[in-house]
Amino acid sequence: MPLPTIIVPGYLESAIAYQQLAALLEQSGFPTITVPLRRRDWLPLIGGRSVAPIIQQLEHTVKQALQKHNATQINLIGHSAGGWISRIYLGEKPYPATGKLPSLWNAHPLVATLVTLGTPHTSQERWTRWNLNFVNNNYPGAFYKNVRYICVAGKTIYGERQRGSWLAYSSYQLTCGIGNTWGDGITPIASAHLVGAENLIIEGVRHSPRSPGIWYGSPEALESWVQYLI
């Protein structure tokens, strides 16, 4: 019996954007729930603040899925920032929460597979660097050996200082420090992969479910990574 699967939305994204992906996973036999975030749930986090409120919603969703399906583990799919937020959720070290006691989830025993889709696992941008430094200093690479890490990157747009690829150039530079490189239009390949993970590259996929054309959750791209779910 396939494990229940949880989708963690990307930064400033709502659960509704992942309806098609959830439906495709259901069709593939995986009972799927998206963490029920709304776009406004992200607003208090702007400026690099603690992501603990998002992880609390993730934890609640995981507990619901485990109880509903009488399961002991889940698959976790994190899109964009949802990927590194999921890595915090797995961890056993207290995560500093602004104005509150540190939070601790230690959820890695509950997660069989973590799939990250276009996740920027590194950042030069000062608002996100604090959170990502916490993740990478405490849980570098595919840290937990009991969790299978699948990191999916897109090779779609080459960043250049010219019309049509300027946004990609700027985003790549903020993320990995190099603008002239390949990525999905937002996240460069170099930042989307982790040492020790099963690292995949899909050509032609764009970063967001709201992007025109194919993204990581489209049927054509899903075929490349759904096989890794348990």
Residue 101's pLDDT is what?
65
Count of structural domains within the chain: 1
Beta bridge partners of 155: 203
Tell which residue, 135, 124, 121, 152, has the closest CA to residue 218: 152
Residue 164 included in any domain: no
> What CATH number has the domain bearing residue 103?
3.40.50.1820
Residue 169 included in any domain: no
pLDDT digit string, tens, across residues 172-181: 999 999 999 9
* Residue that the structure tokens 């993740």 belong to: 135
Residue 44's pLDDT is what?
85
φ, ψ dihedrals at 92, nearest 5°: -110, 5
Residue 1's pLDDT is what?
83
pLDDT digit string, tens, across residues 125-172: 888 888 999 999 999 999 999 999 999 999 999 999 988 789 999 999
Residue 163's pLDDT is what?
85
Residue 213's pLDDT is what?
92
Calpha distance 127→166 (Å, rounded): 21
pLDDT digit string, tens, across residues 220-230: 999 999 999 99
The arithmetic mean of pLDDT across residues 203-221, rounded, is 96
Residue 171 included in any domain: no
Look up the domain containing 70 and give its range: 5-155+186-228
Tell which residue, 75, 36, 109, has the closest CA to residue 226: 75
The arithmetic mean of pLDDT across residues 82-89, rounded, is 98
Checking if the pLDDT of 73 tops 70, the result is yes
Query: Mean of the per-residue pLDDT values for the chain?
Result: 94
Residue 83's pLDDT is what?
98
**DSSP 8-state code for residue 210:** T
Residue 180 included in any domain: no
Residue 175 included in any domain: no
Strands laid side by side in the 148-155 sheet: 32-34, 5-8, 74-79, 111-117, 148-155, 198-203
Residue 96 included in any domain: yes
Q: What angle do CA 129, 123, 75 make, to 5 degrees?
A: 95
Residue 98's pLDDT is what?
61
Calpha distance 228→206 (Å, rounded): 21
Residue 166 included in any domain: no
